Structure 1
Amino acid sequence: MIGPECFLLLLLLFLPSTSPFNVAYTPLTLPVKTTQIPLAIWTPTFSTPSSHPTSTYPYSISIPRIVKLLIGLPLPNFSFMLKQFEIPSSSLFNAPIAHEKPRPLVIVSHGYLGSRFDLTSYCEGLASKGIIAVAPEFPESLSASYEIGDVRREEIVTKTIEEFKGKYNIGGIGFLGHSLGTGLTLNYGMEEECPRCAIAGFRGLTDASKNDNILIIASDNDAVCPGSYIRPRFTEASLESPKIKSLFSTRWNHISYLNEKTNECMVDFLKPLLPIARGLKVPLLDFDIYEEVMDGGECGEETVPVVVDFFRNCFKYE
């Protein structure tokens, strides 16, 4: 005779396990005014590698764009000043979204001289838990995927939200940003409550975010936006709102939070230019510090689960 405890144990052993979703990556070009804006999209999928190939991320770096944004000097686009990288991933290319229920959407905003692939680790983590993550390429990108014109970040985000609400059953919207991207993350106005996560950048609560759940991530080792600057602003904000949380570190530099593969590409391509940049007193945005430590992977192991759990809890999503 099998007792009830043994029967329950056997039942659990033979039930199918509830594993996370697989992650699909899909590129999209979105027209905003007269400009074609590249989007990187990560969605949960029930597809497997046997039905869809894994993808690579087309990451690119333009020295003329970097020089133009930093010091305003126009340079010709000589081929040796441009570099294309194919970053391998485990994401499935163009696999269909798992759409059996409404999906939350997180808008991901890169920083100054960043790219739509900077926060890939966070985007993959969100999609693996059933949340759509979409990262537009903003005008301040080092990829020079389009000419800088009169299109603004807010216009790109508005058009992106319209596109996804029209295409998918969206169950809530949130914002995630790094560095300059935290400005949009905390200032973009929404009628409904929106969870917002600001990494390496926080000046205080805004009218748009004062009633929302907010997660602030910062580090004392960040030379661009240090924890010593952010801590008093977080303390002040926490007196105004009980819905703001933080994760402070003493270790990570400004670009430790970015995907380790994109950082490796930056180091590989831009390292020879460091002496020139130092001589011209060009802001290095902690690139020189990162070259010594190469800790993007370790930083992601600490911060990605915290960010993913933050959005899951805010969306009350399983």
Structure 2
Amino acid sequence: MVNFNLNQLYTFYLVVSLKSFSKAAQALSVTEPAVSIQIRGLEESLGCQLLTRVKKSFNLTEAGRLVFDYAEKIYGLVSDLNSEIKKITGDSKETLTVGTTKYLASVLFPPLLSAFLKHSPGVSIRIEEGSSMNIVDGLVQGNYEIAITGRIPYPKNLLQKVEFTSVTIYPVASPKGRLSNKVLEISDLNEEPLIVRDRYSAIRFNTITKMSDCKINPKVIIESGSTDLIKELVKQNRGYSFLPWAAISKEIEKKELVILNVNNLHLDFPVDILYLKDLKLSSVAEKFINFLMSKKKPSLEETISNLHDSDH
């Protein structure tokens, strides 16, 4: 069975529909290299080339034409499905289902749910976890009403975005590593062994996009969906990685990991609230989003602190 995600397919669909990588990037609010990464990921998953570049344009291969034909049918059906669901659901939902990443579920949702349920007793909430791209796919497929995830390309014609807060990720290495205890330039990371999250992760997507923007060719040696495994490998000096503060704070305090001192490298990305444009939100979903926005702060760490304070 072919394994790919709908987010990659939508990026391809948009590039072909708009006849432009740059216009697709603008529509998705991402960089052009980020669009190229999505297309390459889809080609790798399908095992065939979909586009051939010709100067500033491109041509579809035979496989590309076939994939685009099916993409048109898929997104037409998704639109029809959203319209039909809207007719039968209205505000009748009593349980709110939220899709989010494993990282956000572990650091944001404990104080968030505690504070929200105190604010709105009697509400039933179900949390479903996955990687960022799989969460977006699940939202499009109607698996949950709201998604909270790191910024990645998403189908703007189907989903409404509300920017919530932001996550900063840090370059980390073993204290024994040759990059540690030095003042580095971004170019010093070129060809250094990099351990990254899996390809469906917002952390992975934003890390690779930033490095591509800086003309850095990352030498990815290991990718994993497990943050704990990544940290252990970095501790063993197998390579360096990029991880958020909440995932590394204990290891930094114990001096098991160090944050690399890289000039002019600041890597953060938004955390978005997403929901289907054509589906009327339930009253509990609207209440949940309003509560989130009332507690938002510029960074995830500040937002979490604010939620803890409001719960006391």
TM-score, shorter chain, exceeding 0.5:
no
Higher RCO by CA contacts (8 Å cutoff, separation 6 or greater)? 2
Q: TM-score, normalised by structure 2?
A: 0.29
